[in-house]
Structure 1
């Protein structure tokens, strides 16, 4: 299989070590009858990330974690594959799939190099997962390879402003002023963060995303910038609700493979 890229190896160790912290959240999400998305739990009825009827569709979740998004798609009729970098996360996904009687194909692997043939899927999605933990210059072309012509990719992750406004030392909370260049490196290494040390994440400017989509062979269908609900309180991953009402903390891209 060869040596893993540094960020893949780092993130695998990070997520294997903290997978136990996400078991309860995964169980809650598996029990939901309707999806909610992102840190602020935005209802599917507002964001429309999934087709209402996925009967006959082949779908893949890139960075599936505990597998709840894969389960939501399977319950809508899709034939679903989930791939994740963390074996420990997949153990939870496998247990919950068996417990709920949901058929999923689960693969331990890197979403930048999925062991599936070209044009294997009609629909691909990532809620965080590959959307922030994989290098977009690798995983976006890989998603394009996996999708049939006309297939759709949807992904939700941190808005670029989150990285730009995050203190350089990784302390919380993020600020209302820029802490690093908007046009800086697209790689954020949080291993030595002052608060909640993490793995290696990725983020692009919006012009870079659009250029990447165009050169890869995707057309943009939609972009949503997520605002925290009016009644949201507290802090999510170092982001205060008041901040996320004034500035977008998350985004959702929907793109379609040309051809």
Structure 2
């Protein structure tokens, strides 16, 4: 029997399988680098998402894409379980794993909203533009909480809500200086009718709703970072220009601890 998937999971699987080839070269570049984060490739020394030493850690990447974050964790000594919704993205991850000769990364095809691992399996969970934006928030945050041991940490990076409400609903231009959609209505962003790069269903929330969700599920907030583009940044990446992102936060980072 064929697997029956929620609409957003099925659409995002189709979308990422179709565009996976576009991310091979960026994935190859990131596999060859040390950890650097987000649209603006900010070094881990400046945007501290990964410990330098992860020896003895059992880590999971939720929405691993081409797998470079998993590679960075493995090089720091962690054993890694990496799950992604796209078979095509995982093909790239597995190939690059062989090229770089890493071991103890388990590559798994599936949704980060439903992970076939027991409760309390991991010490550390991370998502950079994976589950962080492509999965329904209550579903994937609850699943991360289930998977983490008490005291375990969840770190995730994705679009800042302000960047989303300043991006036209039809995706026709990058973020601008107008409010294009309701902040308090922010939840599901369906890009299938977008003018540029049509496809995919993203999610985001108002900041207060994120905090309320974490508290309800059982996470404490360790830190919250609103990411500013470096002064040296140029051009436009995705829906945000460097000049816009020097004045307004284009990305956000949440660091959470399982109670």
Provide TM-score, normalisation by structure 1: 0.98
* CA-to-aligned-CA distance 1:63-117 (integer Å, 9 cap, x gap): 0000000000000000001000000000000011111111210100000000100
- Aligned residue for 1:138? 139
Paired residue secondary structure (1:193)? coil
- Aligned residue for 2:53? 53
- Aligned residue for 2:72? 72
Paired with 2:55 and 2:245, the residues of 1 have a C-alpha distance of 36
Paired residue secondary structure (1:72)? helix
Paired with 2:218 and 2:253, the residues of 1 have a C-alpha distance of 18
Q: CA deviation at 1:238?
A: 2.4
- Aligned residue for 2:91? 91
How large is the RMSD of aligned CA atoms in angstroms?
Answer: 0.9
Q: Is the 8 A contact 2:222 2:257 kept in 1?
A: yes
Paired with 1:238 and 1:58, the residues of 2 have a C-alpha distance of 34
Paired with 2:145 and 2:222, the residues of 1 have a C-alpha distance of 15
Paired with 1:174 and 1:46, the residues of 2 have a C-alpha distance of 25
Q: CA deviation at 1:2?
A: 4.3
Q: CA deviation at 1:226?
A: 0.4
Q: Is the 8 A contact 2:54 2:73 kept in 1?
A: yes
Paired with 1:185 and 1:160, the residues of 2 have a C-alpha distance of 8
Paired residue secondary structure (2:45)? helix
Paired with 2:169 and 2:69, the residues of 1 have a C-alpha distance of 32
- Aligned residue for 1:249? 250
- Aligned residue for 1:42? 42
- Aligned residue for 1:220? 221
> What are structure 1's unaligned runs of at least 5 residues?
none
Q: Is the 8 A contact 2:186 2:206 kept in 1?
A: no
Could you list the runs of 4 or more consecutive aligned residues of structure 1 that deviate by over 3 angstroms after TM superposition?
none
- Aligned residue for 1:173? 174
- Aligned residue for 2:157? 156
Q: CA deviation at 1:19?
A: 0.3
Paired with 1:238 and 1:216, the residues of 2 have a C-alpha distance of 31
* CA-to-aligned-CA distance 1:100-135 (integer Å, 9 cap, x gap): 111210100000000100000000000000000000
Q: Is the 8 A contact 2:85 2:111 kept in 1?
A: yes
* CA-to-aligned-CA distance 1:162-216 (integer Å, 9 cap, x gap): 1111112211122111011111140000011011212000001110000000000
Paired with 2:82 and 2:245, the residues of 1 have a C-alpha distance of 30
Bigger mean CA deviation after superposition, 73-82 or 170-179: 170-179
Paired with 1:64 and 1:128, the residues of 2 have a C-alpha distance of 9
- Aligned residue for 1:101? 101
